[in-house]
Chain A
Amino acid sequence: QSVLTQPPSASGTPGQRVTISCSGGSSNIGSNFVYWYQQLPGTAPKLLIYRNNQRPSGVPDRFSGSKSGTSASLAISGLRSEDEADYFCASWDDSLSGVVFGGGTKLTVL
């Protein structure tokens, strides 16, 4: 049981916009930044969004993040086949003194 809650799956057709939610609590998302990662099969997670809504260099602006209270969202616009992957949210948890993750959302591009 992950500390942060994500839907297990999401899907969309090429060109569509999809959003993935991440719900937490006051000790994690409510008081710390949210990070998002993309993980392709057999590879390490790749940083997609940091500090709620910032993109590292090289990440397309089709990817965007937002946070409100104890929840966050990742939006992917102009969906492409290569976006098919697992997506994880993460945040520091002040109570655990550790990183907490969402269970991951498997994105399928139909």
Chain B
Amino acid sequence: EVQLVESAGGLVQPGGSLRLSCAVSGFTVSNNYMSWVRQAPGKGLEWVSVIYSGGNTYYADSVKGRFTISRHNSKNTLYLQMNSLRTEDTAVYYCARLHYGDYAPDHWGQGTLVTVSS
């Protein structure tokens, strides 16, 4: 069974940092394209970042230079390092597997809330 389980988010002050993790079972993270998607309260879905199976990474303009996506192959885990956090980064963050070849999400984690506030 495919499962993606995000770590707990939390409350962070503006300018602070937080690392999210996504523990995966049922498939191999390094063989797939993996993404982070976020959803601000009451808003729609926003793509944040992707890591290709080959290791290339891409980011939305809104987080470029502040967020870093990575993976740990032996732990089969995806990460999102978030630095210089802003109030507008407040959202539920989902990790997702992108369907092979189509590159749209086909499996999602349960989501974790990150609140950036003083």
Q: Check B103–A92 contact: CB distance below 8 A.
A: yes
CA distance in complex: A37, B105 (Å) = 9
Binding site for B on A (CB under 8 A): 2, 32-35, 37, 44-47, 50-51, 56, 88, 90-92, 96-104
Would you mind naming 8 contact pairs between A and B with Cβ atoms under 8 Å apart? Answer: A35-B102, A44-B108, A46-B108, A92-B103, A98-B47, A98-B59, A98-B60, A99-B103
Residues of B within 8 A of A47 (CB): 105-108
Specify which of A37, A44, A56, A97 lies most central, judged by the most chain B CB atoms within 10 Å of its CB. Answer: A44
Check if B94 is an interface residue, CB within 8 A of chain A: yes
Contact residues on B (Cβ < 8 Å of other chain), bracket: 20 to 34
Q: Check B46–A101 contact: CB distance below 8 A.
A: yes
CB distance from A51 to the nearest CB of B (A): 6
Q: Check B98–A99 contact: CB distance below 8 A.
A: yes
CA distance in complex: A71, B76 (Å) = 36
